[in-house]
Amino acid sequence: MKVILDTNFLMAVVQFKIDVFFHLSGNELYVIEPVVSELESLSQGKSKDATAARIALQLIKTKKLKILKSESKADAALVEYSKKGYSIATQDKILRDKIKKANGKSIYIRQKKYVIL
């Protein structure tokens, strides 16, 4: 299965200390360019979110996630990729609803410890 990780999903992985790479092992993992851009802008500063964004950027590099190109904004791009058969890992309920309407699949973290496929 091809899985694209969203910004808030990557940050939740850090904040909840969940090893989603274990749960998603055997799948092809990707991020899209707008997600990387969002994380880079969020990583500026000294807040908890900035720290989580910096660690998420490091995870992208250390786990060697493939970066997919996209001209549109993150949410629109994720919905389009879901129509192409990619599963989208996100914590954003509104985005999950859009993906569901587009007959796509989503993955999310529940109760700060369960990865729901």
pLDDT band at 9 (very low <50, low <70, confident <90, very high): very high
What's the whole-model pTM score? 0.94
pLDDT attached to residue 33? 96
82 neighbors 105 (Cβ within 8 angstroms): yes
How many domains, the chain? Answer: 1
pLDDT attached to residue 112? 87
Reading phi first (left if > 0) and then psi (alpha if -120 to 50, else beta), residue 26 is in left
Instruction: Reply yes or no on whether the pLDDT at 57 is more than 90.
Output: yes
| 3-state secondary structure at position 24 | coil
Phi, psi of 23 (to 5 degrees): -65, -30
70-97 residue pLDDT tens: 989 999 999 999 999 999 999 999 999 9
14-53 residue pLDDT tens: 999 999 999 999 999 999 999 999 999 999 988 989 999 9
What residue numbers bound the domain in which 30 lies? 2-116
Residue 93: give its domain's CATH number.
3.40.50.1010
Residue 40 structure tokens:
């880079």
Distances (CA, A) of 116 to 29, 48, 109: 16, 25, 6
Q: In terms of Cα–Cα distance, which of 86, 13, 23 is closest to 106?
A: 86
